[in-house]
Copies of this chain bind each other. A is one copy, B any other.
Amino acid sequence: MSSPLLEQLIDALRVLPGVGQKSAQRMAYHVLERERAGGQRLADALAVAVEKIGHCARCRDFSEDEVCPTCASASRDVHQLCVVETPADRLAIEQATGYRGLYYVLQGRLSPLDGIGPAELGLDRLHARLAEGEVSELIVATNPTVEGEATAHYVGQIARQHNVRPSRLTHGVPLGGELEYVDRGTLSHAFGSRSEMP
């Protein structure tokens, strides 16, 4: 390599997910050849984000303030609380649905083998939140995986302890898909829970 700094940059780029040696090379050359200003902007944005972005004290999502804009907003419905595993899940729901309630981000899922229990997911704070008595519906939107389902079950029990109604997203055949390519579990579930046509 013609420059140790270039080598360092390529090495540092590999911290990004899905970026191997070749992609990192291509990125480094691209930035140096055509996007020096953009590269400087990225360096600044990264440094500031890593330093300033923490977690919202209410919902545990990423936030640079003590309380994130969503939790601080007066226009959200405080009676609905949606529990998700990650900030990316929260963003997906926010972008796809018209949901106007609040969120609670677990930042993970129950996984005893990895040492992730109720404490790591901040479930004591969820207890306290539900004890406040404002929430009437807890929408449990963890992923439909084994660990996500176990987490959902656990969170649902917490809700019932506080007389809050837990709900769960419907499983079924995705819109726009073809039955031929739907996995067996989903198809079997959708078939079994079929409803009468209106």
Using known A-B contacts A2-B63, A12-B38, determine if residue A49 contacts B25 with beta carbons closer than 8 Å: no
Instruction: Note all chain B residues with C-beta closer than 8 A to A32.
Output: 49-50, 53, 62
A1-42 to B contact mask, C-beta < 8 Å, 1/0: 111111011011101111000010111111111011011111
A44-78 to B contact mask, C-beta < 8 Å, 1/0: 11111111110010000111110011100000000
Interface size on A, residues (CB 8 A): 58
Q: Is the CB of A43 within 8 A of B50?
A: yes
Using known A-B contacts A2-B87, A68-B3, determine if residue A9 contacts B46 with beta carbons closer than 8 Å: yes
Q: Is the CB of A47 within 8 A of B56?
A: no
A107 within 8 A of partner (CB): yes
Instruction: Note all chain B residues with C-beta closer than 8 A to A179.
Output: none
Instruction: Note all chain B residues with C-beta closer than 8 A to A30.
Output: 16-17
Using known A-B contacts A1-B91, A17-B26, A88-B26, determine if residue A9 contacts B45 with beta carbons closer than 8 Å: yes
Q: Is the CB of B31 within 8 A of A15?
A: yes
Using known A-B contacts A45-B9, A49-B8, determine if residue A15 contacts B35 with beta carbons closer than 8 Å: yes
Q: Is the CB of B86 within 8 A of A29?
A: yes
A90 within 8 A of partner (CB): yes
Inter-chain CA distance A51–B3, complex, in Å, is 13
Q: Is the CB of A43 within 8 A of B35?
A: no
Q: Is the CB of B18 within 8 A of A31?
A: no
